[in-house]
Structure 1
Amino acid sequence: MTIVVGYLPSPPGLAAIEAAIAEAELRGSRLVVVNSGVLGDYSGPSFAEPQDLDALDAQLTERGIDHEVRQMTRGLAPADEILSVAADEDAELIVIGVRKRSPLGKLVTGSTAQQVLLDATCPVLAVKA
């Protein structure tokens, strides 16, 4: 069984990782970490630095969790990347971090969390920092 977690180098992203680790340990599941830029922007704050991904990989290895860390560069929206990986992996669970946004912010930029929650074919665990 596989759990897919959307990762951003931010407090909500770290909360998602911690929740995904707890679920993977509880279920004995493999963990697939997904990080991507926003629609091809690989210089923005959502695209993790190599040292962040290396530290995450080391943390998961140290905890004995079967895992894979993927940094997607296909130019898709983050929600589409997460949903695509979840479908490819036949995920039993998706874990995402959420943050409070204004109604205008949601209207202008959309909501990755909302799209994942509405379009996922498996259960989604949304966690706050």
Structure 2
Amino acid sequence: MYRVLFAVHPGRQGLDHQIRTIRALPHAAEEVSVSLLHVFSDNPRGLSVAQVDGVREAQREFKQAGIHVDLEESSGSPVAEILNKADALDVDLICIGGRKRSPVGKALFGSVAQQVILSSERPVLICNSDEGY
């Protein structure tokens, strides 16, 4: 079984592309297991991972494709939580949605995707948003 940690961004950046990419993996229905992770940085309404729109959409798409899915949630720094969950689940791949940023935007605000790439010892797949590409 090939285990994928699929990080769901709260703004849905790259979500559709992420879903299509994982569904297109060879023998996905038979050999891929996806853990959908949402990291809550602020959760005043007390939502669970199952109530996050992007998570529900991804879960529905993967189930339709016959891909095993489980849900994971965490709170805190997205980078640290993605890396911790990847280690705890011993995944084979981390899949993250990305978005286009200017060099100044990257320098000022950083990038979760960039920090995960630089900090992870596991393969990281970045699926850019379809918007603006």
TM over 0.5: yes
Matches within 5 A, 1:65-76: 65-72=67-74, 74=75, 76=76
Q: What is the match of residue 119 of structure 2?
A: 119
Partner of 1:42: 43
The match for 1:55 among 54, 57, 62 is 57
- Give the aligned partner of residue 77 of structure 1: 77
Counterpart selection for 1:32 from 32, 35, 40: 35
| 1:51-74 deviations in Å (ceiling 9; x for gaps) | 6233332222222111112232x2
Q: Distance in 2 between matches of 1:49 and 1:92?
A: 23
Give me the whole-angstrom Cα distance separating, in 1, the residues matched to 2:7 and 2:42: 17
Which residue in 1 is equivalent to 2:107?
107
Deviation readout 1:59-103 (Å, 9 max, x if unpaired):
22222111112232x2x2212221111111111111112111123
Residues 85 and 51 of structure 1, relative CA distance in 2, 3 Å threshold: closer
RMSD: 2.6
Name the TM-score, length of structure 1 as normaliser. Answer: 0.77
Q: Go from structure 1 to structure 2 and tell me whether the alpha carbon gap of 1:42 and 1:13 turns closer, same or farther (over 3 Å shift).
A: farther
Q: 1:128 to 1:110 in 2, by over 3 A?
A: same
SS of equivalent residue, structure 2 residue 84: helix
Q: Percent identity?
A: 27
Determine if contact 1:35/1:70 at 8 Å carries over to the other structure.
yes
How many pairs does the alignment contain?
122
Alignment gaps of 5+ in structure 2: none
Q: 1:22 to 1:80 in 2, by over 3 A?
A: farther
Partners in 2 of 1:89 and 1:115 — Cα distance?
A: 20
- Structure 1 gaps, min length 5: none
